[in-house]
Structure 1
Amino acid sequence: MGDTTVRTRDGQGAATPPKGDETDRQTATEGTLWQRLRRPRRPRIWIELALIGVSYWLYSLVRNAVPEQKAQAMANADWIWRAEHSIGLAFEEAFNRAVNSVTWLIVGMNYYYATLHFIVTIGVLVWLYRWHPGRYAATRTVLFLTTGVALVGFYLFPLAPPRLMDGHNFIDTVLVHHTWGSMASGDLKHMTNQYAAMPSMHIGWSTWCGLTIFALAKAPWAKILGALYPVATLVVIIATANHFWLDAVGGIVCLAFGFTVVWAWYGALPFQLPRVVASGEPRRGLGYSRA
């Protein structure tokens, strides 16, 4: 009942499904608009390269366009320093000077600060793209959201790093040891905003990398390295006097924001999504394949 018959050229009838059944099947195949928007898709290399390039360019442009506001940045640094003293955790100056006394260690940390921030982050993105395509877009979006909200922090709360504070004994380790790579010291300091220390994106990005590796890597040694990476980064940013430990807290808050938005969008954390996206049009649900 409800079927219609269509006559073919040889005169035989062919039953066609009712229109309602056809609509149901189409809905089951495609899902609702909300489901389709939330469905992980296979990343495309050129789109991703362009997106990452444009995003970093915009990040650098906006970050460096924020007014430096030196007086306010210095006042905020003094406020942070007093706040840490009030809770008995103002240890950055002593730590900075202690590590600086070991030349090979602080020089290594200077290069760590200048390079691994980008190398490790890009490496994790490539690894996700190659081995976890179903999780790539969601995990990458966490990183983008983290960085985006950090720009708001740079604007609303300009902050001088400890090494630039007046009347204190912090050591600018890049200047003292003449190491390469820092955009925040020496001749390169005029190319970047000196007072964008809060929140720390070294911590935001390194924690993103560490959580991603720890959650998705199979080898125990890789999980251990993932867990240690943000811890090592925290040690480095304090030893080189580039950040207060409270800047690191700000970076974690930004990262939590990124994860929260992505969780709300996908209904799951990025690491809980399937590793591989099903090829072709999915038949059910959000079209995931857990292969």
Structure 2
Amino acid sequence: MGEATVKSSEDRTAPPSPMVTVDGPAPERSRLREWRSVRRPRIWFEILLIAVSYWTYSLVRNAVPEQKAQALRNADWIWEAEQALGIAVEQTVNHAANSVTWLIVTMNYYYATLHFLVTVGVLVWLYRRHPGRYAPARLVLFATTGVALVGYYLYPLAPPRLMNGQDFIDTVLVHHTWGSMASGDLKNMSNQYAAMPSMHIGWSLWCGLTVFALTAAPWGRILGLLYPTLTLVVIVATANHFWLDAVGGLLCLGFGYGLSCAWYGALPHRLPRHVPDPLRGGPVLTA
């Protein structure tokens, strides 16, 4: 009888396994891809983030040294530049609105309240109805605000109502309303020389464009365009900003949109409305 030969599994010829190459940057690319993915927002984290961010914004804005002399010189330069461009009508608008008491008082309260309330309202609406677009849109708002803080440091600017030798009316003082943290008894709590860029325009335009892009109802789209337009009239009528301050706010918003688009790969309104759930078989949305 022939001798039986037993071969162990080690002796069998195994098919060659594919070569696995460990690439150093791959884990970093994977982590970057994960950071850039759109995730489902969490309510308590978002509330805390917004509260801390607004507190930090207010703290930093008010910590900017009040360079009064330079701020007044810059205001004179802005006013002269607008006169050269033929757009220096802020004084006319200020006096016209101030002549109608109910109108200017309403504008004072508009300036003091809607700036924050409408912005928070749009954030809540995005969180509930468009969770897949919430984080990219929030990044636009945060980046806009962050670059504005740089502007406050580099270019102190007095609002028209604080200019020397010009006949602008501080409507808050005249009508005894609390339409601005930078007037009356509250003026020591706020930096009065941080008018450029105007975040009233930056934030209101963010709200308006967001609502316009994501709302199908015609009345909603009209309101989206009307809100920043009314805000522009209010900031000029109350003598809190020049027209060119609004241009500064627009430029800051453009930076915010550019950063969000670069990070997520598309503008917020072009991303999916909902965040796919990988546990239910859906893909994870990434840039």
What TM bracket, shorter-length normalisation? Answer: 0.7 to 0.9
Measure the CA separation in 1 of the matches of 2:35 and 2:53: 21
For residues 86-131 of structure 1, the C-alpha deviation after alignment (integer angstroms, 9 at most, x for no partner) is 1111110111001110111111111100000011000000000001
Give the aligned residue type for 1:48: E
- 2:108 is aligned to 110
- CA drift of 1:287 comes to 2.9
Q: Which structure is higher in strand share?
A: 1
* 3-state SS of 1:277 partner: coil
Measure the CA separation in 2 of the matches of 1:80 and 1:171: 18
Give the aligned residue type for 1:72: Q
Tell me if structure 1 keeps the 8 A contact 2:276–2:282. Answer: no
Tell me if structure 2 keeps the 8 A contact 1:200–1:247. Answer: yes
- 2:6 is aligned to none
The within-5 A match list for 1:210-221 is 210-221=208-219
The within-5 A match list for 1:12-23 is none
Measure the CA separation in 2 of the matches of 1:33 and 1:184: 44
Give the aligned residue type for 1:250: G
- 1:177 is aligned to 175
2:29 is aligned with 1:37: no
Give the aligned residue type for 1:54: V
- 1:262 is aligned to 260
* 3-state SS of 1:130 partner: helix
Tell me if structure 2 keeps the 8 A contact 1:184–1:194. Answer: yes
Tell me if structure 2 keeps the 8 A contact 1:74–1:160. Answer: yes
- CA drift of 1:286 comes to 4.8
Tell me if structure 1 keeps the 8 A contact 2:236–2:242. Answer: yes
Which of 48, 51, 69 is equivalent to 1:50? 48
- 2:145 is aligned to 147
Measure the CA separation in 1 of the matches of 2:149 and 2:266: 26
Tell me if structure 1 keeps the 8 A contact 2:276–2:283. Answer: no
For residues 16-68 of structure 1, the C-alpha deviation after alignment (integer angstroms, 9 at most, x for no partner) is xx899xxxxxx9xxx94333222100000111111111111110110000000
- CA drift of 1:222 comes to 0.8
The within-5 A match list for 1:187-198 is 187-198=185-196
- CA drift of 1:181 comes to 3.9
- CA drift of 1:285 comes to 6.6
Tell me if structure 1 keeps the 8 A contact 2:276–2:284. Answer: no
Give the aligned residue type for 1:79: W
Q: Which ranges of structure 1 fall in alignment gaps of 5 or more residues?
A: 1-17, 21-26
Give the aligned residue type for 1:188: L
Matched residues, number: 264
Tell me if structure 2 keeps the 8 A contact 1:42–1:134. Answer: yes
Q: Which stretch of structure 1 is more off in the superposition, 160-169 or 278-287?
A: 278-287
For residues 251-281 of structure 1, the C-alpha deviation after alignment (integer angstroms, 9 at most, x for no partner) is 0000000000111111100111111001125
- 2:75 is aligned to 77
Tell me if structure 2 keeps the 8 A contact 1:146–1:204. Answer: yes
- 1:247 is aligned to 245
Taking structure 1 as reference, are residues 34 and 285 closer, same or farther at Cα in structure 2, changes over 3 Å only? Answer: farther
- 1:208 is aligned to 206
Larger Rg: 2
- CA drift of 1:156 comes to 0.4
Measure the CA separation in 2 of the matches of 1:223 and 1:254: 23
2:98 is aligned with 1:100: yes
- 2:22 is aligned to none
